[in-house]
A = this chain, B = another copy of it.
Amino acid sequence: MTATEDRRSARADTLVDPAPEQARARVAEGIEAGAMITVFGRCTVEYDGRASSTLGPGDRHVMLKPDGSILVHTDEGQQPVNWQPPGCTQEAELDDGALRIRSRRSTPEERLDVRFERVTQVSAFVVDDGSELAISGTEEDLRERILDDPELLEVGFTPLATERQTTAGAIDIYGEDRSSRTVAVELKRKRVGPDAVGQLGRYVDALQRDLHDDAEIRGLLVAPSVTDRARELLERNGLEFVSLTPEPSE
């Protein structure tokens, strides 16, 4: 690849302190070209849809992505203060001499308007991203770890199915213990509270009903740890707990 091609693949077209019409044109071009666009400046924001919100004047960073999403970030917080999900239609226009960026979607009907009192910078980036994220340490990893070595749960445990359906939803691992008693296993990748115990209880109850069988069904919660209240609920409901992390500890 030549240096020229190399630069073209990720060029930045940037305007500093542009006039409103300049800024509007650059944003509109970027939307048209499928670029990733950033606008920094003093603005107000209005949102209306699943909820409603207004945000008075302040300096914010606005990002428009080619997939139709838009993010408004202030100087604090990991989360955007306002946003729209992918699939929205974006427009840049002049509103009484000021840059306004609008995003809309339907189902549900939602609208986001960002009006700039002043634009400090506008950039448009052409993006070339081939790679996908590879992640580990998930609930799926925990499941694989157990299926590779079922006796991590207890001696004689035998998995029979994963994602086994019940009328209350799917059981993560369905199996038998050494005495051929049915075991429903609920997996959580990290420390769990009472909600997970409730989930496991519903599965055990549903199995009990579905199987039309008087035999005891065991419910086993597998996670790195549980909260105190979750442990109380486990005992009260006759459910069990095994401590296990998604990946072997060092």
Which one of A19-27, A124-132, A211-219 is at the B interface? A124-132
Q: Which residues, 195 to 239 on A, are CB-close (under 8 Å) to B?
A: 195, 198-199, 202, 229
Tell which of B59, B130, B202 touches A125, judged by Cβ atoms closer than 8 Å: B59
Assess whether A75 is in contact with B81, with CB atoms less than 8 Å apart: no
Chain A 134-148, CB-CB to B under 8 Å as 1, else 0, gives: 111110000000000
Tell which of B55, B58, B76, B128 touches A58, judged by Cβ atoms closer than 8 Å: B128
Tell me if A14 is interfacial: C-beta within 8 Å of chain B. yes
Task: Across the interface, name the chain B residue whose C-beta is closest to A236.
Answer: B205
A130 vs chain B, min Cβ distance (A): 6
Assess whether B129 is in contact with A59, with CB atoms less than 8 Å apart: yes
Tell which of B55, B61, B127, B195 touches A131, judged by Cβ atoms closer than 8 Å: B55
Task: Across the interface, name the chain B residue whose C-beta is closest to A130.
Answer: B58
Assess whether B56 is in contact with A67, with CB atoms less than 8 Å apart: no
Bound Cα distance from A75 to B60, whole angstroms:
20
Bound Cα distance from A55 to B133, whole angstroms:
5
